[in-house]
Amino acid sequence: MLYTSTRGGAPAVSSAKAIVDGLAPDGGLYTMNPAELPKLDWRSMMDLDYASLAAKVLSALLPDFSEAEAKTLVEAAYRGKFPDAWITPLRAAGDDLFLELFHGPTSAFKDVALCLLPHLMKRAAEKCGNRDDILILTATSGDTGKAALEGFRDVDGIRILVFYPRDGVSAVQKAQMVTQEGSNVKVCAVEGNFDDAQTGVKNVFAAMPAGLSSANSINIGRLVPQVVYYFAAYFDAVRLGRIKAGEPLNYSVPTGNFGDILAGYLAAEMGLPVGRLICASNANNVLTDFIRTGVYDRRRPFHKTLSPSMDILISSNLERLLYLMSGDSALVASLMQQLKTEGHYAVPAELLANIQSRFCAYCCDDAGTQAAIGRVWAESGYLCDTHTAVGWSAAQAFGKDSGPVVILSTASPYKFPAAVLSAIHVPCDGDEFAMMDALEAATKTPMPGNLRGLKSRPVRHTDVTAPADMLAYVSAKKAEPSWAE
Ligand SMILES: *Cc1c(COP(=O)(O)O)cnc(C)c1O
């Protein structure tokens, strides 16, 4: 099984090369041919441990990796980084089922993929005969940067440089990044907003493509590890008696770039009995409108919300869904061109009907998000973060009559202490760090170890650059033989 560009303008490549390169040269996203998607005999996988389950999924979707090799990589990736060998526990709280994806080193769901991506990338580079060091460049609005730093730290042969907007991340997020340890990591503030940082990174890629790669969800190596937990959650729901093996299970997914929910679609295509995939959005509800009407229109105001990791108007991975469902790269190329030049597109009726047979969509604003956190806490004593609350609210709107729903819980509530405290009506005048302590005192929900004591950890990264100087900054850092102190 080879990977082709969603836009059809680049040669097909092996799964290893797709991971090493990140993005296809025609600007499309490397994706599997829908006719070749492998089916898995999920019934025979129900009693596997997480690493063995992951190895089956990974080797099916990334045929350059054997099952045994994938298992070794998965074990190395998660060892010592997650508290439990079952990486993604399913928690029942009242009637609700929360799939907790945030027990990794940075307390956001991106850890599940970003702990594994470095291992996949290193082996993939070897398979491609690539002997040079790789430099990963990442622009972050908050969560991805820290998860990528933790994932790639001290991985030999790879260095990682993260750019964050100087005034655009929360105090907790900034403290997480500037205190980052590791001999191969650098963090640099950009004097500008997230778009400035992201545009700067894209300019560096254009100017010096050799030896660079990407850690965001345009890389197929980040998507594949996320397919695994759809299987894991299904098996847990059977074990909890919420469904019988073979019955459909619905999943509500707090969505931004459409990566996580697309992993659910892949799981379904591989044979898992998935019911509906519920696309949950905040006030930036471009996907809600798209799934309901078939019109994607980014010409709308951008809202800064309490669930910032979903504040996005261009959901990159939707392009992969359009390709997987239509198999028509010419159509995808023309829709993406229209999105770029006109800011909107409409899909053909048949494709829309196909999308609506698998997905449904709901959105909720900040008031709804806080009301959801308050209700879940009051009714079942479960503390959700703001993103998870958007997913819960969508599951409510979907309705209990439509069968059991797993809500993907994508971050620890301690990453967003101000919004969570106010949602459960606990007053606190201090800074975000004081709020974390207040949240723990009020709820007795334990604070993740990586966030405890963050305020007093030594700052290791103080570099700042203007957007216009990012290329010079990267060139200078790339030329240094080592970043170890
Ligand atoms: C990134 C992120 C999301 C959105 O995931 P996508 O794959 O971009 O759709 C949701 N919640 C949290 C906490 C995130 O960090």
Domain ranges of the chain: 90-105+221-443
Q: Which residues on adjacent β-strands are paired with residue 297?
A: 344
CA atoms 239, 240, 246, 248: torsion sign: negative
Quick check: CB of 465 below 6 Å from ligand 1? no
- Residues whose CB falls within 8 Å of the CB of residue 280, separated by 6 or more in sequence, listed in order: 252, 253, 254, 255, 361, 362, 363, 364, 390, 391, 393, 394, 395
Structural domain 90-105+221-443, CATH architecture: 3-Layer(aba) Sandwich (3.40)
Contact 338, 344 (CB under 8 A): yes
pLDDT for 320 beyond 70:
yes
Structure tokens at 24: 């296809």
Q: For residue 156, name the pLDDT band (cuts at 50, 70, 90).
A: confident
Among the residues of 22-102, which ranges form H helices? 50-61, 67-78
What is the predicted pLDDT for the residue at 262?
Answer: 98
What is the predicted pLDDT for the residue at 342?
Answer: 97
Quick check: CB of 310 below 6 Å from ligand 1? yes
Q: Which atom of ligand 1 is nearest to the CA of 226?
A: 7
For a mutational test of ligand 1's pocket, the pick from 173, 194, 257, i.e. the residue with the most ligand atoms closer than 8 A to its C-beta, is: 257
Q: Measuring from atom 1 of ligand 1, which residue has the nearest CA? A: 309
Quick check: CB of 260 below 6 Å from ligand 1? yes
Quick check: CB of 416 below 6 Å from ligand 1? no
Report how far residue 465's alpha carbon sits from residue 204's, in angstroms, rounded to the nearest whole number: 14
Q: For residue 110, name the pLDDT band (cuts at 50, 70, 90).
A: very high
Q: Kindly give the distance from the C-alpha atom of residue 482 to the centroid of ligand 1, in angstroms, as a whole number.
A: 33
Structure tokens at 269: 């295509």
Q: For residue 268, name the pLDDT band (cuts at 50, 70, 90).
A: very high
324-335 confidence digits (pLDDT tens):
999 999 999 999
Is 81 assigned a catalytic role?
A: no
pLDDT for 309 beyond 90:
no
Quick check: CB of 318 below 6 Å from ligand 1? no
pLDDT for 215 beyond 90:
no
Report how far residue 276's alpha carbon sits from residue 294's, in angstroms, rounded to the nearest whole number: 17
Averaged pLDDT, 471-485: 91
Catalytic choice (81, 110, 174, 186) = 110
Q: Measuring from atom 15 of ligand 1, which residue has the nearest CA? A: 309
In the block, tokens 């291992």 appear at 119
pLDDT for 209 beyond 80:
no
The DSSP output letter for 7 is T
Averaged pLDDT, 6-21: 94
Enter the pTM of the model.
0.94
Structure tokens at 19: 């991971």
HSE of 85 in the Cβ direction (CA atoms, 13 Å)? 8
Q: Kindly give the distance from the C-alpha atom of residue 481 to the centroid of ligand 1, in angstroms, as a whole number.
A: 35
30-80 confidence digits (pLDDT tens):
999 999 999 999 999 999 999 999 999 999 999 999 999 999 999 999 999
Quick check: CB of 369 below 6 Å from ligand 1? no
Contact 239, 361 (CB under 8 A): no
**Which residue pairs from 447-450 have beta carbons closer than 8 angstroms and sit at least 24 positions apart in sequence?**
447/414, 448/102, 448/103, 448/107, 448/412, 448/414, 450/105, 450/106, 450/107, 450/176
Q: Measuring from atom 2 of ligand 1, which residue has the nearest CA? A: 309
